[in-house]
Structure 1
Amino acid sequence: MKFQRSSVVTQLHGAIKRLKQDLKSLHSFALELSKDFQRQSKTCLYQVLAAVQGIQLQNEAMQMFQIKAFDLEQSLQEVTERYEKEKQKRKALHNSLIELRGNIRVHCRIRPLLPFDDASGLSQGRQRNFSEKVAYAADDETVLVKCSRPGHASVNKTFQFERVYNDLESQDAVFADVAPLLTSLLDGYNVCIMAYGQTGSGKTYTMLGPQLEGNLAFAIEEESELGIIPRATQEVFRLISEKPPGSYCVEVSVVEVYNNEIFDLLAKDSCGKVFGIKRDVVTTREGKSDVPLLTHETVENASEFLHLVKKGLLLRVTHPTLVHAHSSRSHLVVTLTITTVVFGDNFGTLCEDEQISQRLNKEASFTFPQKMRDNKSTSSSRASSPVQLEATEKMKQVKTRLQLVDLAGSECVGMSGVTGAALRETSFINRSLSALADVLGAIAEQRAHVPYRNSKLTHLLQDSVGGDAKLLVMLCISPGQKYLTESMQSLGFGTRARQVQRGQVKKKISQCRVKENKT
């Protein structure tokens, strides 16, 4: 029994001894852990401090960069503003130079790719090739065309014009560059705006606006899509509304040149029904082109004008082709003739509105000549008085014209697929456009003879193309590879047109004195 207790005590002593050793080992390990933690804490603290310092340095650097970026941004803004001012000055000087030389302004509009641009009847690979876009607006004055042939490297060609519109620019943007010409119209200058390009390139859309089933949609909901012709008329009447009441009379005529014949689209039969009557163009003693017996309708607002134009368009010849479902087969010429009454002593300035208004109010009411009195735009004649007769003796009238021309499109017969009568129409269209190019070439080369009479179109437009009108040619371009040849031809035409120098465009001067009203 005593031996057993001694053995247990010995075991307990051994266990206590081992526990003490383990405790000592644990204590040593804890000390090592503590020292290691302190070392790592110091290291981490140093790293955190270094990181904070780095962040502070980066923040300072970022602030410096922000300051530099702000300075650069301000400098860029200043340079951009100066560039825009210089660009506007350059454009103004360029336009002045064009006006002094009598050059023709040329704008170019590139339409978007459309579903019918895909070549039908070809393999899928060829379709992708032909519908590829090759004509671009490099900037607002440059057209870039990628010219490529099988087995040859692609060559880029550029063409410079007064203005280039890309495929995203709206009708508003196009008209914004046209509107200043209309102010010139009321300042005493003749103006002509002409759309040129191959069939399906967007000429009629640019000049008139969208078409529904071949008829113009001058609906209010389509106002943002209206083309140059309706917008120009609205602007003309807006400008007239700011002038002295009764000092302007506006007449409109609508003709088409079809198969080298001129047709009056506002002529009426004995029952008052509008139908096209063949007219002829002659050269007057003064060397001006004129169409005898042409119908001129007086209009008092843009709505009346659009109504008449729409009537005329219903008679315009169209024919579907493989390129365009409503291809125009004739050249359309819409003319606004504005007769302005001014007093003799103010005639040199023509647009002295305040003086005219004062004279109208102080001296007397006036009446237009017999032709203008017969129109609905003139009021009933008043009894003449000595003051009125004296006033009318001092009055003169000036006629200025705004010609708005939607040319028929040039065609490649193989592409359009026309036959029979449509093929004959194509022949006349291409020949008249070729005659127009010949006229421009003759004027540019200052030849002694300009072949205006080679075509009824050029004879009709003689005064605008080679005369004293401010002429704007709106080139319309199809961007696809399929139309590359025709697009290059149109761009070449525009380039030649820019080279024409006709001498300084002049204001219209007195044509006749307003006669006394003896009624």
Structure 2
Amino acid sequence: MPLFINRDQIFAHQVHLLEHKLRSKEERILELETENAILHLRLAECLGKLRREREEEIKALNHHQHQRDAQNITRSALTKLLSEVQAVKQDLSEVFAVYVSFATELEEQSKQLMGKVEQVSSSLNSHCGNEIQNLQAHVAGLERSLEEEKEKCRAERQRRKELHNTLVELRGNIRVHCRVRPVLPFDHIRSSTSGSGPASSEEVVYAISDDTVMVNGLKTGMPMQDKMFEFERVHGPADSQDAVFEEVKPLLTSLLDGYNVCIMAYGQTGSGKTHTMMGSQPLHDHSRTQQEAQKGIIPKAAAELFRLISEKPAESHTVEVSVMEVYNNEVFDLLARDEQGNAAGQRRDVITTSSGAIQVTSLTYVPVCSASEVMQVISSVLKLRARCPTLVHTDSSRSHLIVTLTISSKSPNALALARRLQSAKKDMQRSNQKEWWSPRCRRANPAARHSSDELFASSASSPCPSPSYSPCPSPRNSITQAPFKTKLQLVDLAGSECVGMSGVSGAALWELSCINRSLSALSDVLGALAEQRPHVPYRNSKLTHLLQDSIGGDAKLLVMLCVSPTQRFITESLQSLGLGTRARQVQKEQPRKKNNTLKVK
């Protein structure tokens, strides 16, 4: 039976074989392409290595070339330098030869001159020796005399100053110091009221000595006139804050001796009152020493007070601070707190007690233990002080600031005196007990009265007799020591000014009016005291009423006049200098030292 051949199957088989071969070829092609890519990568690596090796060879060749060039340059430079050194050696040898010849010649001439000098000296010594010695002795005597006269002059000047201060203290006059500030940039602004004449920035106020101020050209447009004002101390523009405080420091010693002290700065707006009292911060960062030098009287006085207290027995003194301002003729307590506990100035009343002392009702006192605490308290409330910019000053104070430091002192000497008195009374009681127990023993027994008087007179520090000092002892012998209080008042007054120059308007006009009225009241009080009038108008202003104890009492008062040096402020400067002159004429009561009150029960 013949075989049947299916061609389709044969063709399909052949197609399958061909497809298999095609896939094999394609896989081979992929393998070859992969190998080709690997070979390309290897070729690229080889080329990179060759390129880098070639670059390194080029760099090495260049480096060797540079080294060869540098060596060639160095050789040429060394060759040139060697030739120059040889030339210098030749020149030095020639110079040395010239020097040797000059030295030999100079030595010979020196010998000749020395011989001539010796001859001349011997001739002079033989003829003028006595005259030279006499002249030298005369010059030495004159120098000694000059030193002695200088020392005498210095001693006399110091003695005159001490005697003057003693006389001022005995007479009770108000001490007045004056400080002339330097010319500042705002002095060059011409005022609308200056009119014709000298420029407003022309300097007309001078500190010509340590106690005299001269005002040159009192009136614009008139012949030049000079007027002198004398004060206890005058500070010029070059005087530092330390120099100003050195003249104030002696007053602080009186605080612990039992005297009240008041220091106030008076002057026109922009004359440097706040700078003198509070100081100023440097515009740039400075050292601590420079910052200390810029401090004013208030921080320096606080530091000096606590320094003096540190020299006393521990816990013998306590200090409290209060801060007030007089604004629009009203007294405000700047340390008072509101309901939220924030500092808020509250109005207070000034009253006169039955003993004649001035007291501020409900005034806030803060205990302090160091000068830094004092300044922290003051700095925390300074922002509450009324201020307003004017044409004269960009940060003008519109109120009078009064900082009071109250010192409570316990005197150990007074306690020792009380014990001495009690011991003497016990001895007298044992010697004559019956007579001492009589209610009228002091008047009935002259001998006992005489002994008691001698006892009281023997104690230099004994206070004035009073019923509490009766020599008749009490059945209960006990001593109570009541501390006495003194106060240091530091006052930065608001500045006086005229409306036309300050350029204020609206509510600021009322502020300016109150400032000028209070300063005018202060001037009236000083005038009344200087003329010894029977009535002194302290109550015309809250300022003078508040400072009544300091102005007219037995406190030691120092007025620091701050004046501007230029023609622009000549009217206000003359007004300030005039007030200082009137203040020096005030003869206050002689300062009385406060004593501790001893109570023998």
- Of the candidates 570, 575, 578, which is equivalent to residue 489 of structure 1? 575
**Alpha-carbon separation, structure 2, partners of 1:218 and 1:490:** 35
**Alpha-carbon separation, structure 2, partners of 1:432 and 1:477:** 19
**Alpha-carbon separation, structure 2, partners of 1:500 and 1:150:** 32
Query: 1:437 and 2:523 equivalent?
Result: yes
Between structure 1 and structure 2, the one with the greater Rg is 2
Query: 1:131 and 2:209 equivalent?
Result: no
- Of the candidates 469, 473, 480, which is equivalent to residue 555 of structure 2? 469
Residue aligned with 1:129, SS: coil
Paired residues of 1:342 and 1:396 also in contact (CA < 8 A): no
Quick one: which amino acid aligns to residue 187 of structure 1? D
1:400-419 equivalence runs, <5 A: 400-419=486-505
- Of the candidates 261, 264, 270, which is equivalent to residue 339 of structure 2? 270
Counterpart position of 1:454: 540
Paired residues of 1:188 and 1:400 also in contact (CA < 8 A): yes
**Alpha-carbon separation, structure 2, partners of 1:61 and 1:324:** 70
1:372-383 equivalence runs, <5 A: none
**Alpha-carbon separation, structure 1, partners of 2:340 and 2:563:** 43
Paired residues of 1:201 and 1:476 also in contact (CA < 8 A): yes
**Alpha-carbon separation, structure 2, partners of 1:315 and 1:125:** 38
- Of the candidates 279, 283, 295, which is equivalent to residue 209 of structure 1? 279
**Alpha-carbon separation, structure 1, partners of 2:480 and 2:512:** 52
Q: What are the superposed Cα offsets for residues 332-357 of structure 1, whole Å, 9 maximum, x if unpaired?
A: 000000001225745889xxxxxxxx
Residue aligned with 2:340, SS: coil
- Of the candidates 326, 337, 342, which is equivalent to residue 257 of structure 1? 326
Quick one: which amino acid aligns to residue 146 of structure 1? N
Paired residues of 2:193 and 2:500 also in contact (CA < 8 A): no
Q: CA deviation at 1:70?
A: 5.8
Q: What are the superposed Cα offsets for residues 297-349 of structure 1, whole Å, 9 maximum, x if unpaired?
A: 00011111100001121111111111111111000000000001225745889
Counterpart position of 1:14: none
- Of the candidates 165, 190, 193, which is equivalent to residue 95 of structure 1? 165
In structure 2, the CA distance between the partners of 1:467 and 1:123, relative to structure 1 (3 Å rule), is closer
Counterpart position of 1:193: 263
Q: CA deviation at 1:414?
A: 1.1
Q: CA deviation at 1:147?
A: 2.0
**Alpha-carbon separation, structure 2, partners of 1:100 and 1:123:** 45
Paired residues of 1:256 and 1:331 also in contact (CA < 8 A): yes
- Of the candidates 325, 346, 351, which is equivalent to residue 282 of structure 1? 351
Paired residues of 1:343 and 1:396 also in contact (CA < 8 A): no
Quick one: which amino acid aligns to residue 433 of structure 1? L
Residue aligned with 2:487, SS: strand
Quick one: which amino acid aligns to residue 584 of structure 2? R
**Alpha-carbon separation, structure 2, partners of 1:347 and 1:133:** 60
1:384-395 equivalence runs, <5 A: 393-395=479-481
**Alpha-carbon separation, structure 2, partners of 1:147 and 1:62:** 55
Number of aligned pairs? Answer: 423
Q: What are the superposed Cα offsets for residues 38-97 of structure 1, whole Å, 9 maximum, x if unpaired?
A: xxxxxxxxxx99xx99xx899999999887666555433322221121111111111111
Counterpart position of 1:153: 223
In structure 2, the CA distance between the partners of 1:282 and 1:89, relative to structure 1 (3 Å rule), is same
**Alpha-carbon separation, structure 2, partners of 1:152 and 1:60:** 65
**Alpha-carbon separation, structure 2, partners of 1:301 and 1:462:** 28
Quick one: which amino acid aligns to residue 323 of structure 2? V
Q: What are the superposed Cα offsets for residues 155-204 of structure 1, whole Å, 9 maximum, x if unpaired?
A: 11101100001110101111111111111001110000010011110110
Structure 2: runs of 5 or more not aligned: 1-115, 419-475
Residue aligned with 1:196, SS: strand
Q: CA deviation at 1:502?
A: 1.1
Quick one: which amino acid aligns to residue 208 of structure 1? M
Counterpart position of 2:511: 425
Counterpart position of 1:502: 588
Counterpart position of 1:480: 566
Quick one: which amino acid aligns to residue 424 of structure 1? W
- Of the candidates 399, 408, 414, which is equivalent to residue 339 of structure 1? 408
Quick one: which amino acid aligns to residue 264 of structure 1? D
Counterpart position of 1:83: 153
Quick one: which amino acid aligns to residue 132 of structure 1? E
Structure 1: runs of 5 or more not aligned: 1-47, 350-389
Q: CA deviation at 1:220?
A: 7.1
Q: CA deviation at 1:407?
A: 0.5
**Alpha-carbon separation, structure 2, partners of 1:313 and 1:460:** 20
Residue aligned with 1:458, SS: helix
In structure 2, the CA distance between the partners of 1:219 and 1:459, relative to structure 1 (3 Å rule), is farther
Paired residues of 1:396 and 1:514 also in contact (CA < 8 A): no
**Alpha-carbon separation, structure 1, partners of 2:375 and 2:296:** 12
Q: CA deviation at 1:123?
A: 13
Quick one: which amino acid aligns to residue 595 of structure 2? I
**Alpha-carbon separation, structure 2, partners of 1:423 and 1:414:** 11
Q: What are the superposed Cα offsets for residues 232-273 of structure 1, whole Å, 9 maximum, x if unpaired?
A: 000101111111111111000000000000010000122221
Paired residues of 2:190 and 2:200 also in contact (CA < 8 A): no
Residue aligned with 2:158, SS: helix
**Aligned-residue CA RMSD (Å):** 3.4
- Of the candidates 298, 305, 319, which is equivalent to residue 236 of structure 1? 305
Paired residues of 1:344 and 1:396 also in contact (CA < 8 A): no
Residue aligned with 1:139, SS: coil
Paired residues of 2:496 and 2:519 also in contact (CA < 8 A): yes
**Alpha-carbon separation, structure 1, partners of 2:193 and 2:360:** 51
Q: CA deviation at 1:124?
A: 13
Query: 1:178 and 2:178 equivalent?
Result: no
**Alpha-carbon separation, structure 2, partners of 1:120 and 1:159:** 27
**Alpha-carbon separation, structure 1, partners of 2:535 and 2:569:** 34
**Alpha-carbon separation, structure 2, partners of 1:191 and 1:297:** 19
How many percent of aligned residue pairs carry the same amino acid? 58
In structure 2, the CA distance between the partners of 1:97 and 1:148, relative to structure 1 (3 Å rule), is closer
In structure 2, the CA distance between the partners of 1:150 and 1:490, relative to structure 1 (3 Å rule), is closer
Q: What are the superposed Cα offsets for residues 101-135 of structure 1, whole Å, 9 maximum, x if unpaired?
A: 11100000111011110124779997972111111
